[in-house]
Amino acid sequence: MKQKGRPILAAFQFLSRFPVKAELDFSPELLRRSAKYYPIVGTAIGISVWLGGTLAGWVLPSLPAAAVTLIIWVWLTGGLHLDGWMDSADALLSYRSRERMLEIMKDSRVGAMGVLACVLLLLLKLSLISSLLELGSAASAGAMLTAPAWSRWFMTRAMYKWPTAREGEGLAVRFRGLGAKDMVLATVFALMLTVASLGSAGVLDGADATSWLRWGGYFVAAPLLAILAGSLVAGKISSRLGGLTGDTYGALNEGLEAMLLLLAVIFFR
């Protein structure tokens, strides 16, 4: 396998269940080089989810179609980020010491707060997906292709900007040293994919001048929400834990996905 192709394959293998057949060692160097491709993986997940939701919507009412869509979404990610969301909820909502919160995150068992946080998040996503499917294929396409790209872009930013909470151990340490060039490329990928996604959704919408202004507004608002809300939450988590962990990367992705879907419902309703 060519060395240049390994990072993007690693990104797909690490973040999704797409059938990428490649033997990869997932060394720290390879993981760092793969991070810039996270928005591409997010868009691929979004396309798959949207297609599944659209097909389900042809034969089912919006709520069961949304449930099918959400099942596809969780399956495609292998529940990786949901696990981080639950572990982060158990730790951060325990209001314990920094050391104890980090111990809670390492525990393979899920506590009551983690279960509650997961149920509430999935209920929110279910309702938002149902609303988007009711708004039509253009709105659902614009949201489902854009939200996973920017939430995963922020994971790359979090790896680049904030320190790791655990010195010398944990998944987050393996991404330490992510360069500015990687961050720039991740941003370029996210912007290009957003233009393509929202442009295609606008064509599906048969958008007039007023509608294109709405699509353009979402193009500006989605990245701003990702960076502002993500930075606010990541900063608060980092201040409590002394940095970020692999679990908090996943939690940030899940939270931002939901917020971006909510933003889409507000824009396109």
Domain parsing of the chain, residue ranges:
3-268
For residue 191, CA distances in Å to 118, 179, 255, 256 come to 30, 19, 20, 17
Q: Mean pLDDT in the chain? A: 90
Residue at token pair 């599944």: 52
Compute the distance between CA of residue 13 and CA of residue 181 in angstroms, rounded to an integer. Answer: 22
Q: Which residue stretches of 78-106 are H helix?
A: 80-92, 98-106
Q: Please name the residue ranges forming H helices in 168-208.
A: 180-205
Model pTM score = 0.93
Residue 206 has pLDDT above 80, yes or no: no
List 72's β-bridge partners, or say none: none
The arithmetic mean of pLDDT across residues 102-127, rounded, is 92
CA 250 to chain centroid: 8
Other CB atoms closer than 10 Å to residue 17's CB: what's the count? 14
Instruction: With cut-offs at 50, 70 and 90, classify the pLDDT of residue 27.
Output: confident
pLDDT at 209 over 70: no
| Residue 208: predicted pLDDT | 66
pLDDT score for 1: 45
Contact call for residues 52 and 163 (beta carbons, < 8 A)? no
Q: Which two tokens stand for residue 136?
A: 């039509």
User: CA end-to-end span of the chain, whole Å?
Assistant: 47
Least confident segment among 25-34, 92-101, 163-172, 234-243: 163-172
Give the integer Cα–Cα distance in Å for 147 and 215: 14
CA angle, 186 as apex, 180 and 189 as ends, to 5°?
A: 140
With CA atoms as reference, report the closest residue to 182 among 149, 146, 158. 158
Residue 118 has pLDDT above 90, yes or no: yes
Which residue carries 């720290």 as its tokens?
Answer: 28
**Predicted pLDDT of residue 23:** 79
Q: Shortest CA distance to 203 belongs to which of 156, 142, 143, 117?
A: 142
